[in-house]
Amino acid sequence: MTNADNSMGPILLTEQRGGVRILTLNRPAARNALTSSLIEALRHELTAADDDARVDVIILTGADPAFCAGLDLRELGATGDNAARIAAAEVPVGHPWRPLSKPVIGAVNGAAITGGLELALACDFLIASERARFADTHARVGVLPGWGLTSRLPAAVGRGFARRMSLSGDFVDAATALRIGLVTEVVAHDQLLPTAMEVAVSVVGNDQNGVRTLLESYRLAEAHLVDPALDVEDATSRAWMAQFDPSQVADRRNAVIDRGRAQNQSVRHG
Tell whether the torsion through CA atoms of 33, 79, 152 and 258 is positive or negative: positive
pLDDT in tens, 93-152: 999 999 999 999 999 999 999 999 999 999 999 999 999 999 999 998 888 999 999 999
pLDDT in tens, 142-171: 889 999 999 999 999 999 999 999 999 999
Report the amino acid identity of residue 101: S
In whole angstroms, how far apart are CA 30 and each of 5, 67, 142, 219, 257? 11, 11, 20, 33, 11
Q: Is the pTM of this model over 0.85?
A: yes
pLDDT in tens, 74-95: 898 888 899 889 988 889 999 9
Consecutive H or E run containing 7? none
Domains and CATH numbers, the chain: 12-190+203-265 (3.90.226.10)
pLDDT at 258 over 70: no
